[in-house]
Amino acid sequence: DRKGLGELVKELLRHAFNSVDSQIWIRNEGWIRGKDSDIEGCVCGQELLLAPGADAKQFYVDIAASRLAQSGTLERWNQEVLDPVSKNYILTGAVQIGLAATMLDQVPGVSSCSFNFFGGAGRGKTLLLSTVASLFGNTTAPGHGSAGRNGRSIIETFGSTQLALQAKGQASSLGPMLIDEIGTNGSRRLDNFIYMTGNGSSRTKLSSSGDILDSPPKGLFYMTTGEVPIASLVSRNAQLGVLDRGVDINIGGGAVSFEGQEEEEYAFLPEDVKKAVAAGIPNQYGTVAPAFIKALMSEMDGQNWKAELEEIRQLLVGACARYVSADGPGRILTRFALAVLAGRIALRNKVFSEEVV
């Protein structure tokens, strides 16, 4: 009984020493909250980032298998990755959504969502996921060799079981969960996946000894790719709750096109942009997330993110048809507004270079 053994050890130590300086054992990456739920810091990979006024001595960081990894510098990432990315509005938006995923627990009123980038084969969908991955760590795409890159790839595939993906979603520390090839799902399985993840992937259960293994709902952005939209994969009986928990973003070249996206001028990734991004991400990755986390912690006390988010959302509502601002579609606009807010924070704290964007 490991729990009983732990209590015994603490009791023995209490009698052995008059006073023992205790530390908080940090075993997972992500935000660190104090007793009053205030942010005291964040762990990125093996690096402890402290909020203003927090004491590093109270934490003991021991991450067994970190998800985040680094290579290169933030300055070089801006030059070699963000520079070509900024020439494509969908790639730029995807990067902002990736950063926004770190803010889900910091801004009220934003819910989990799956963003699906769909289009024809060879359009650069997997490259898009690798570009978002470069914010946080290893950019290796599924089925590709990772020689020379630190850490493990943070891009998953739908070849995993639904429960395994939900468990990985729960274990995800910072940023979005990236999953390639959504089209390998059957409709019923996809319905359940989108609905469950949209509700936080909570799977609280009992252990064999009768103890409750708590698994509270967790807000998370999922970013997926495929050759078809989510709308064509979910079953006919899917509820509205499934549809407004997923967003389809057409990058062209597939069987489905939207008005204004048929022409070649709307090509997703011109060859020069694709080659430049593909050349940059194998060597420059993982330096953005720590810088962005520091930016968030520096703004937490003095910045009214809730009001700024609402201001951005109203701008988006004003640009859309009147029906878009109601119910489910309104929640989707709030998620996009959070992505805009993340981009603003990155710019004003010089995480994104103003010379590039």
Each residue of 3-32: pLDDT tens digit? 778 788 877 777 766 655 677 888 888 888
Across 74-82, average pLDDT: 96
- State the pLDDT at residue 187: 47
Among 297, 279, 348, residue whose Cα is nearest residue 77: 279
Cα(195)–Cα(239) distance, rounded to whole angstroms?
A: 9
pLDDT for residue 183 is more than 70:
no
Q: What is the pLDDT of residues 219-229, one digit of tens each?
A: 788 888 888 77
- State the pLDDT at residue 328: 57
- State the pLDDT at residue 284: 95
Task: List helix spans (H) across 300-349.
Answer: 305-319, 327-348
- In the structure, what pLDDT confidence band is assigned to residue 352 with cuts at 50, 70 and 90? very high
Overall residue count recorded for the chain in this entry: 357
pLDDT for residue 340 is more than 90:
yes
pLDDT for residue 333 is more than 60:
yes
- State the pLDDT at residue 82: 97
pLDDT for residue 307 is more than 50:
yes
Mean pLDDT, all residues of the chain: 79
Cα(247)–Cα(346) distance, rounded to whole angstroms?
A: 24
pLDDT for residue 199 is more than 70:
no
pLDDT for residue 264 is more than 90:
no
Q: What is the pLDDT of residues 35-47, one digit of tens each?
A: 777 888 999 888 8
- State the pLDDT at residue 173: 64
Q: Name the pTM for this structure.
A: 0.82
- State the pLDDT at residue 302: 77
Among 107, 126, 100, 134, residue whose Cα is nearest residue 342: 100
Instruction: Tokens 């022409």: give the residue.
Output: 263
Across 50-58, average pLDDT: 86
Task: List helix spans (H) across 240-326.
Answer: 240-243, 271-280, 288-299, 305-319
Across 269-295, average pLDDT: 92
Q: Residue 22 corresponds to which tokens in the numbers above?
A: 């205790």
Please report, rounded to a whole number, the percentage of residues in the chain having pLDDT higher than 70: 72
Residue 148 exposed, middle or buried by CB count within 10 Å (0-12, 13-18, 19+): exposed
3-state secondary structure of 30: strand
Q: Residue 249 corresponds to which tokens in the numbers above?
A: 């973003």
Instruction: Tell me which amino acid residue 30 is.
Output: G
Cβ neighbours of residue 18 under 8 Å, at least 6 residues apart?
A: none
pLDDT for residue 214 is more than 60:
no
Across 76-99, average pLDDT: 95
- State the pLDDT at residue 310: 92
- Beta 212-213 vs 221-226: how paired, if at all? unpaired
Q: Residue 102 corresponds to which tokens in the numbers above?
A: 């770190």
Instruction: Tell me which amino acid residue 249 is.
Output: I
Lowest mean pLDDT among 125-134, 170-179, 252-261: 252-261
Better-scored residue on pLDDT, 342 or 202: 342
Across 46-52, average pLDDT: 88
What is the four-CA torsion angle of 259, 263, 266, 268, rounded to 10 degrees?
100
pLDDT for residue 297 is more than 80:
yes
Q: Residue 343 corresponds to which tokens in the numbers above?
A: 């981009």
Cα(350)–Cα(357) distance, rounded to whole angstroms?
A: 11
pLDDT for residue 265 is more than 50:
no
